[in-house]
Every structure is written in C-alpha cells, then in structure tokens.
Amino acid sequence: MSVSGDLFELTAAASDVPDGLDLVVALTGFSDAGGAAGQFNDYSRGAFESEPVAIFDNDLLLDYRARRPIIYFDQDHLTEYTPPRLQVSLAYDDLHHPFLLLTGYEPDFLWERFVRDVLGLIDRFRVARTTWVHAIPMPVPHTRPIGVTVSGTREELIESMSVWRPHTQVPSNVLHLLEYRLTERGSGVAGFALLIPHYLADTEFPTAAIAAIDSISAATGLILPTDELREEGREFVSRIDEQVGGNEELKRLVGTLEERYDTYMEGSALRSPLMDSDGTLPSADEIAAELEKFLAGRKGPDERRPPGDEAP
C-alpha cells in the first residue's frame, strides 16, 4: 500500500482509477432484509472483475466482540483466519465499463470520520454519482415485484421508481449519513430502500439481491450479471409457493397481502401498500411460523460467516 488516509489506505491501483465514475455502495449491518446487501457483496466478488483501491482499518471501525471473525480449527491447530473487509474497489461491468464499488460491513464506530473519508475519496476520484442500496422488511407479498423507496437528489429516479414516500422517522445507518452529506453538497446521489416481505426478512432471499442489482443498473446504466441469481430466485419462490399452496391459512394470509398491495398500486386512498385504511398492519406472523423449518436452511450469510467478511 502506498498512501494513507485517516481511516483507510490506498493501494497502488488507486492511481489507475479514471475520473468521473459511478460509486456503488452496499454494506451489511443494521438493515439488510432478505440478505440483499450481503448477497450482492458475495455475488460481486465472483461476478465482477475488481481490484481494491482503498482498504479501511478494521481495528478502528469494527466491534470484534459484536461481530466476531471466524477461524477454522483443524483437529489440533488453527487455520484460515480471514478478517472482515471494508473496501473500495475498481470494478467492471459485463461491457467492461469501470465503476467504483464500496462493499463490506457497516462501521460500528467513527461514523462522521468514515463519511468524511468516503467524501474525500469521492472528491479524489471525481465520482460522478453515488448509488447505494439497503433493504427493509415490510408486510408485502413475495408474489409481487419488490418495490423500492428512492431518496436523494436524483429526481428522475424518485419519480419513476419510488412506490412509497412516507413521512416518518427511522433509525439511520451510516449510508443515510453519507447521503445526507452528499445532498448538502448538491452531489448526485440515490438511495434505494428495497421493500422485502417481512416473513422472508431473515432469509437469504435471491430476489432481494436481484432487486438491488436492478436498482443499481437503473441508476447507473451498468450492465451487471444476474442470470445465476435469477435461477436461484425462481427455485426459491417455487418452493415457497409450494409451502403456501399446501396450507389454506397461508394462502388466505398471502392473498390478503396481495389484495392490499394491488389496491395500493392501482392508486387507492390507502396511505401505503403496507397498511389498511385504519392504519393497522396486516399480520404475517403465521406465514413466518409455517415456513420456519424450510427457511432455516436459507439464513443470511452473517449466520454462517463473520458479518461484513467481504474479502475478495
């Protein structure tokens, strides 16, 4: 490594970054319903050609006791310790168009300093636009397309893609803060909150990762591969449908979610696709209970390996 920042070090490859690229960001952490960001991070390592240009310091940003790295015990000795990775990479899409990619874990500490350093990298590389994705659980059916709430300064994306525009207070993540600072500067930024069926929020839901990639492509024009994920998504949904089809109560509950969703999307007076006219949420807890056994095998990556382990 050749150059140091406050919380990161630049690699030699940083000198090869062209000016004016898009920056794409997906971090695992507080809000990652359906494992959208985690799957995108995993998938990007194999699907995109990339090389690290800036690596952040785990010892300053990561709470190891809360998110412990995994080490392999081989009979009588320890092997294969791989620390988590939070980094910016120079990546290429299917047409070999370059872009910058910030992946890894959401920092536990030093948010303001982290955002300041990311802004410094944005300035250094003269980033044209920043696009970030995360996913939140909502009472919506898995049988309908995943909707998004779009925030930021890209009005054309907000107008064309944002299906839910609430007035509400939400717990923030570090990328909310980054978007807020970019908005203060008048920079181009779009944040996509994917609306994931809440009974699938704790699973690794392939359709969530596809929705993340589709949102990124819509915002940047990048051509990103999804064929493998789409096949996984079809298989996953088919198995969910089989579970639901064999249980009349589940069919009724999913049907209720579908009806509310469809009514909202047709422009009814409902305040959101999530609520009835009296403001109450339709319960899908029974769906989660019935599917628990099936979904146990589809838990997100943070339960199989250390959260934020984004090593290439």
What Å distances lie between residue 229 and 56, 226, 236, 268, 304, CA to CA?
A: 29, 5, 10, 33, 19
Residue 266's φ and ψ, nearest 5 degrees, are: -85, 0
- Nearest Cα neighbor of 4 from 54, 58, 68 is 54
What's the mean pLDDT in 47-53? 93
- 105-116, pLDDT tens digit by residue? 999 999 999 999
- Give the dihedral sign, CA 46/23/191/9: positive
- Strands 129-138 and 22-28, bridge-based pairing: parallel
Question: By the 8 A CB rule, do 300 and 42 touch?
Answer: no
According to the model, what pLDDT value does residue 82 have?
87
- 190-205, pLDDT tens digit by residue? 999 999 998 899 999 9
What Å distances lie between residue 34 and 209, 215, 230, 252, CA to CA?
A: 8, 15, 15, 23
Question: By the 8 A CB rule, do 22 and 91 touch?
Answer: no
Q: What is the mean pLDDT of the chain?
A: 86
Question: By the 8 A CB rule, do 173 and 31 touch?
Answer: yes
Place of tokens 């591969």: 225
pLDDT bucket at 293, cuts 50 / 70 / 90: low
- 11-36, pLDDT tens digit by residue? 999 999 999 999 999 999 878 999 99
Question: By the 8 A CB rule, do 192 and 131 touch?
Answer: yes
Instruction: Read off the pTM.
Output: 0.83
For residue 91, the surrounding DSSP H or E stretch is strand 87-92
pLDDT at 306 over 80: no
According to the model, what pLDDT value does residue 311 have?
40
What's the mean pLDDT in 214-223? 95
Between the two ends of the chain, the Cα-to-Cα distance in Å is 16
What Å distances lie between residue 264 and 138, 160, 193, 270, CA to CA?
A: 14, 16, 18, 6
